[in-house]
Structure 1
Amino acid sequence: MLTRLPTSRAAAHSATEPHERRAMDVTLYGIPNCDTMKKARAWLDQAGVAYRFHDYKKAGVAEADLRRWIERLGWEVVLNRAGTTFRKLPEAERADLDADKAVALMLAQPSMIKRPMLEAGDSLLAGFAPDRYAAVFGR
């Protein structure tokens, strides 16, 4: 899922210079041994995109980041319900989920966060799809 912040700067830039490659802060969040993460990192490396890798397991994740992602994408996208960690939870913990419960689960077990999460300028992507990465980076 791709969302862009509705800023006048971003809107003006996209209207006047849609294909210009501009420097932006890029952070890739995830865990290093995940196959999807490996694909995302390989794509970024091959495309020559400079990025910072944030390892959920070593560095954790800030509650403010999770809440910002949920505000933009929805907790249903940010919480990885297909993963083994989530599926192993007792039914009582999986029932009646909402944003606050999802945040608590992801803070307690960061492997429940969708991987990868990519922040690049005004863009936020959950998961990896080469076409969505290409759209963000103009490649």
Structure 2
Amino acid sequence: MKMLFICYPKCTTCQKAKAWLDTKGMEYEFRDIKLNHPTEKELKHWIQKSGLPIKKFFNTSGMLYRELELTKKLPTMSDEEQIKLLATDGMLVKRPLIICDDKVLVGFKEKEWEQL
């Protein structure tokens, strides 16, 4: 499977991550998270594969996250409810995401990406 790179093209962090991938000559499939947001099934799979808690998949610095007051609401929501919410809007999901056969990276941390 080719690496899947999911991002929001207007996000500066995503732009840096894309430039990094391109500089390294990495092959990837590009997916705009706003136009083609993750499904519940994809999110469940990625969360499980990443080994990260669901909260790490939320874009906590996003406007929608703040508008919905998720800092207050998430602690009382079940895992299933959180995943359903994430699947409603790509702007709720932390980005960029890298999806590989054996690994899922959330956010752009150059050291982690270097190991990829």
- TM-score normalised by structure 2 residue count: 0.85
SS in 1 for 2:56: helix
Contiguous gaps of at least 5 residues in structure 2 = none
Q: For residues 51-102 of structure 1, give each alpha carbon's deviation from its aligned partner in whole angstroms, at most 9, with x where no partner exists.
A: 0111121122221111112223220111222322111114674451332121
Q: Is the 8 A contact 2:74 2:82 kept in 1?
A: no
Counterpart pick for 2:111 among 113, 116, 131:
131
The amino acid that maps onto 1:77 is K
Please state if 1:83 is matched with 2:81. Answer: no
Q: Indicate the RMSD between aligned Cα atoms, in angstroms.
A: 1.8
Q: Is the 8 A contact 2:59 2:92 kept in 1?
A: yes
1:16 maps to: none
- Give the fraction of aligned pairs with identical amino acids, expressed as a percent: 28
Distance 1:132 1:90, change over 3 A: closer
Distance 1:116 1:124, change over 3 A: same
Structure 1 runs (4+) greater than 6 angstroms displaced: none
Q: How many residues align?
A: 113
Please state if 1:103 is matched with 2:83. Answer: yes
The amino acid that maps onto 1:81 is T
SS in 2 for 1:108: coil
SS in 2 for 1:103: helix
Larger Rg: 1
Distance 1:104 1:74, change over 3 A: same
- TM-score normalised by structure 1 residue count: 0.72
Q: Does 84-93 or 126-135 show the bigger shift?
A: 84-93
Contiguous gaps of at least 5 residues in structure 1 = 1-23
